[in-house]
Amino acid sequence: MSELPKWHGTTILSVRKGGKVVVIGDGQVSMGNTVMKPNARKVRKLGDGSVIGGFAGATADAFTLFDRLERKLEQFGGQLLRAAVELAKDWRTDKYLRNLEAMMIVADKDVTLILTGNGDVLEPVGGVAAIGSGGNFALSAARALVDYESDAETICRKAMAIAAELCVFTNDSLTIEALDSAN
């Protein structure tokens, strides 16, 4: 039996600097060596708009997780860290959720987090986080730029341009969401 081609790609980056937090994602969806869609929206506002997030992985799985996170945010009065920890517990232990294949970056005015199906809730060093196939390229570029640029969105755009040049599963069709930040 031959295996179906895997959906592949996505680069999501978040930078917290200069009183803003930005989450940016590319739009490319690839299956094997074929670009299936160049302009997917993988970044969005969550809940009442006080949280922004982006996903890498299977789209239906990510939307399921975003919905669950929104419910947790309601349950815990908008406390992102508490909601994320509770989602991670469910994701790790629930028989259905355990099979979901996605990663998420979520941020509010106070904290940026990376969530994984392994139960990880990680706060990135220096306010810079990235996931997906081009994530390491975007992360490296953003970390290099953070000392030289004062604007979070400028850092994100430049780092994503570098990732798109290096990763064939990342393009320059970007979706950007930003919030005012406490840091």
Tell me, yes or no, whether 1 lies in a domain. no
Report the domain count for the chain. Answer: 1
176: confidence class by pLDDT, cuts 50, 70, 90 = very high
Domain residues for the domain of 21 are: 7-178
Tell me, yes or no, whether 183 lies in a domain. no
List Cβ neighbours of 88 (8 Å cut-off, separation of 6 or more): 115, 116, 119, 120, 121
Q: What is the pLDDT of residue 183?
A: 66
Q: What is the pLDDT of residue 113?
A: 97
Higher pLDDT, 130 or 93: 130
CA–CA gap between residue 140 and residue 160 (Å, rounded): 10
| β-strands 128-132, 121-122 pairing | unpaired
Tell me, yes or no, whether 151 lies in a domain. yes
Tell me, yes or no, whether 63 lies in a domain. yes
Q: Of 164, 146, 179, nearest to 50 (Cα)? A: 179
Alpha carbons within 13 A on the beta-carbon side of 178:
17
* Rounded average pLDDT over 72-94: 91
pLDDT tens digits for range 21-56: 999 999 988 887 888 888 989 999 998 999 999 998
10, 11, 112, 170: the active-site residue: 10
* Rounded average pLDDT over 85-95: 84
Catalytic (active site) residue 10: yes
Whole-number average pLDDT of the chain: 89
Q: Where are the alpha helices (DSSP H) in the chain?
A: 59-75, 80-93, 135-145, 152-166
Q: What is the pLDDT of residue 3?
A: 52
Higher pLDDT, 10 or 173: 173
**Residue at token pair 């994530």:** 135
Q: What is the pLDDT of residue 33?
A: 82
Q: What is the phi/psi pair of residue 181, to 5°?
A: -120, 155
CATH number of the domain residue 44 falls in? 3.60.20.10
108: confidence class by pLDDT, cuts 50, 70, 90 = very high
* Rounded average pLDDT over 159-178: 95
User: Taking the model in full, what pTM does it have?
Assistant: 0.92
